[in-house]
């Protein structure tokens, strides 16, 4: 591991351009450019952490820090998300008041489908995350939507992720200008600096991945969503991707967006697409 050797020739500000190969001021977005983005993104992490097997990026900071990995392996003998997983399984198998269940809303009965989320829905023209799909399913069946971020939503997604473990992220960008626009919007969000601290997502999770931010090891952005939802010791409870996005935003001293905001969904779309091929490892534990 050579954490200091990151981006020897890239200043942080031109990071996005560096990753894209700096072709021009505003390269025209098309499907090929998204695929090229993905290749450049993944190549960066592969060359930055040559000793880390590709699939291990699903384990976030533990892939790049041996000391943390040791602690994690100890924790995983008795994973703290166990209780949530049980709760999620029970809820998933419980029928709604109208006799239907979550299984009726998802392909393959909702088992082993986590790697296909988020997807771009060409009918409604928006990015559908797993969490949103769960709530849409509830509403379609006359149930109240669940609050995002924690609680039952985390338990349900934990169970659905667990049934998908080992399946590589398979995010597709359909040939639809709106899908590309959503991808581009997510990319823009990822590389835009914000908040009083003036950090972008990429500043920490691309530029400084594997290095310390105070006591924490910054997880590499590639495959960073594979472990969600997570039991975070700092929270003392489970949290979804929304909880991570909003708390990350707040830590940059920017105003967090509401959960499942279009911008967050586009960000999740972009990030998941960048992690294509990294196997689902959720639910996970993080310090």
Give catalytic residues, as residue numbers: 248
Residue 265: CB minimum distance to other proteins, A: 27
204 versus 230: smaller Cβ distance to other proteins: 230
Return residues touching other proteins (CB under 8 A).
Answer: 77-78, 80, 82-83, 86, 90, 236-237
80 versus 277: smaller Cβ distance to other proteins: 80
Residue 86: CB minimum distance to other proteins, A: 5
Q: What phi, psi does 213 have (nearest 5°)? A: -115, 105
- Cβ–Cβ contacts within 10 Å for residue 98, how many? 10
Which neighbouring-strand residues pair with 285? 231
| H-run or E-run covering 284 | strand 284-286
90 versus 108: smaller Cβ distance to other proteins: 90
Residue 77: CB minimum distance to other proteins, A: 7
CA dihedral 242, 247, 252, 256 (to 10 degrees): 60
80 versus 168: smaller Cβ distance to other proteins: 80
User: Residue holding tokens 């990822």?
Assistant: 190
221, 209 in Cβ contact below 8 A?
A: yes
d(CA 285, CA 236): 11
> What is residue 25's three-state secondary structure?
coil
Residue 172: CB minimum distance to other proteins, A: 37
CA-based angle 139:140:144, to the nearest 5?
20
66 versus 78: smaller Cβ distance to other proteins: 78
Residue 224: CB minimum distance to other proteins, A: 25
């Amino acid at each position: 591991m050579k954490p200091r050797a990151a981006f020897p020739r890239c200043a942080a500000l031109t990071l996005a351009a560096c990753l894209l190969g700096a072709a021009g001021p505003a390269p025209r977005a098309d499907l090929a450019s998204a695929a090229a983005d993905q290749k450049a993104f993944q190549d960066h992490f592969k060359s930055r952490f040559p000793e880390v097997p590709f699939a291990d990026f699903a384990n976030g900071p533990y892939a790049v820090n041996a000391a943390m990995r040791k602690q994690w392996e100890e924790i995983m003998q008795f994973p703290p998300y166990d209780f949530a997983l049980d709760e999620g399984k029970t809820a998933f198998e419980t029928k709604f008041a109208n006799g239907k269940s979550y299984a009726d809303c998802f392909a393959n009965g909702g088992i082993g489908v986590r790697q296909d989320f988020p997807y771009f829905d060409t009918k409604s023209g928006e990015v559908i995350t797993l969490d949103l799909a769960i709530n849409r399913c509830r509403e379609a069946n006359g149930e109240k939507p669940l609050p995002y971020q924690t609680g039952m939503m985390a338990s349900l997604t934990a169970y659905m992720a667990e049934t998908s473990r080992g399946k590589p992220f398979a995010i597709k960008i359909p040939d639809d200008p709106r899908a590309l626009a959503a991808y581009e919007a997510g990319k823009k969000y990822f590389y835009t600096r914000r908040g009083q601290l003036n950090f972008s997502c990429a500043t920490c999770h691309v530029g400084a991945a594997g290095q310390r931010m105070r006591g924490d090891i910054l997880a590499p952005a590639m495959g960073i969503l594979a472990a969600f939802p997570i039991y975070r010791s700092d929270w003392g409870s489970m949290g979804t991707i929304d909880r991570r996005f909003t708390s990350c935003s707040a830590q940059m001293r920017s105003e967090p967006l509401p959960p499942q905001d279009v911008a967050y969904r586009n960000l999740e779309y972009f990030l998941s697409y960048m992690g294509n091929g990294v196997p689902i490892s959720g639910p996970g534990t993080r310090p």
